[in-house]
Amino acid sequence: MPDSLYDIDFHAWTREQAAKLRRLAAARSNVDLDLEHLAEEVEDLGNEQRHKVESFLENVIEHLLKLEHSPADQPRGVWRRDAFKARAELLRRLTASLRNHLAATLPQRYRLARRTALLGLEQDRVDPASLPQECPYSLEQLLDPDWHPGSRHGLE
């Protein structure tokens, strides 16, 4: 059983530890440590985790948009596999604080994923206006490894 924030929510732990290091530096503690740079490095570890889950979520959205909007028969299997793999990695890293972050930033994640999906859908002559401007998927759907949107073209 996890017994510390470090074990339960690494991202939140890095935020907490960076704040403590900065308070210690502000108190001008007589410690022979580079507290400000240590705080930055610890915070960067948490940022790295946040960037990874953002990227995996964007990848999931991109592939789900392609599955839903592409009239092409191929490479649907690749898109399904890539969405599954991205979800697995996302779920492996997801913590409560990162889930809250994704929920709060879903519109930004969607805008980036939509642009990437449109680049891949150009060859299929998909009208950019056919992709919604706002995310049509809930965070719960995006995190569900068994959920996929239906194809607008009746493809499996």
What's the confidence (pLDDT) of residue 1? 46
**Amino acid code (one letter) for 6:** Y
Between 29 and 6, the more confident residue is: 6
**Amino acid code (one letter) for 18:** A
Q: What is the pLDDT of residues 108-156, one digit of tens each?
A: 999 999 999 999 999 999 999 999 999 999 999 999 999 999 999 999 8
**How many Cβ atoms are within 10 Å of 38's Cβ, its own excluded?**
16
| CATH architecture of residue range(s) 5-143 | Up-down Bundle (1.20)
Q: What is the pLDDT of residues 78-101, one digit of tens each?
A: 999 999 999 999 999 999 999 999
Q: What is the pLDDT of residues 9-48, one digit of tens each?
A: 999 999 999 999 999 989 987 888 899 999 999 999 999 9
Residue ranges of the domains in the chain? 5-143
What value does the mean pLDDT take over residues 62-71? 97
